[in-house]
Amino acid sequence: MIARLQIGLAASVGLAITLLAGCSARLPGQPNEAERWRAPAEITDFNQLYTQNCAGCHGPGGRLGAARPLNDPLYLAFVTDDALRQAISRGRAGTNMPAFSEQAGGHLTDQQIDLLVNGMRAHWSKPDDFKGVDLPRYSVNETATPSGPSEAVNNNISAETSQTGDAPRGSATYKTFCASCHGTDGEGGLAGSIVDPNFLNLVSDQGLRTTVVVGRADMGKPDWRGNVPGHPMSAQEIDDVVAWLAAHRKMTTVAVSKVDHSASLNMK
């Protein structure tokens, strides 16, 4: 009798286990598949990758952050995929943009970086809006050969704008297109100074070029077509004004070097 009871109890327990294993019920507190912890390298969802790695500077949804908005169809039409990958992978020297690729000490795989680039395109670009628009080239290196390749490699940017741009000519271009907001000499007017050394030391030549071409819609800065109504900036005018701005950075560097040299002489 006892043996039969034991057999019946074991059969009941076995049946209960089988039924529980076959149903979809979860124990209290058990995470579902979407909530399961994943190693950073396993994340393949664009929104999660962007939120964890980009939103802190570029804003939730690509807007209203401290850095340039990425949810900007004009910017995405202007910038190349390779430039986006390089910026994410290697960062921007001299700025707060860090390197995210595993090869550069970050934690994103090449596949995840591609997911970010493709995701920004898929979610935020509007290529149809720019059909028939003659967009300026992203980098002067698309047509020009760098005169200082080591500088470009060290900064991970195109730093040779002055090769095709002319700084003295850029002074006149600046007065035509920019002075109404930034002041006659760039030291500030309705908008802030763009020759301030603290600003110029935090932005690359390519960053200057991008702002001249794309503008900053979040700050009311027009793109290359809107500075002077009915007179978009030509490719040469863009090159020239960027060369003029970049020259102020170099002038500041030279001035600081002279001060340091004079101080060292006085200490001897």
Q: In this structure, are residues 73 and 126 in contact, taking their beta carbons and an 8 Å threshold?
A: yes
Residue 265: per-residue pLDDT: 42
| pLDDT classification of 261: cutoffs 50, 70, 90 | very low
Residue 40: per-residue pLDDT: 80
pLDDT digits (tens, 9 = 90+) for 205-256: 999 999 999 999 899 999 999 999 999 999 999 999 999 999 998 765 555 4
Q: Does the structure show a pLDDT above 60 at 176?
A: yes
Average pLDDT of span 102-130: 97
Q: Which pair of tokens denotes residue 17?
A: 């286990």
Lowest mean pLDDT, pick from 68-72, 142-146, 202-206, 224-228 = 142-146
Q: Does the structure show a pLDDT above 50 at 152?
A: no
Q: Which pair of tokens denotes residue 263?
A: 């101080």
Lowest mean pLDDT, pick from 10-14, 198-202, 203-207, 221-225 = 10-14
Q: In this structure, are residues 95 and 198 in contact, taking their beta carbons and an 8 Å threshold?
A: no
Q: What is the 3-state secondary structure (H, E, C) of the chain?
A: CHHHHHHHHHHHHHHHHHHHHHCCCCCCCCCCHHHCCCCHHHCCCHHHHHHHHCHHHHCHHHCCCCCCCCCCHHHHHHCCHHHHHHHHHHCCCCCCCCCCEHHHCCCECHHHHHHHHHHHHHHHCCHHHHCCCCCCCCCHHHCCCCCCHHHHHHHCCCCCHHHHCCHHHHHHHHHHHCHHHHCCCCCCCCCCCCCCHHHHCCCCHHHHHHHHHHCEHHHCECCCCCCCCCCCCCHHHHHHHHHHHHHHHHHHHHHHHHHHHHHHHHHC
Q: What is the pTM of this model?
A: 0.74
Residue 264: per-residue pLDDT: 45
| pLDDT classification of 96: cutoffs 50, 70, 90 | confident
Q: Does the structure show a pLDDT above 60 at 85?
A: yes
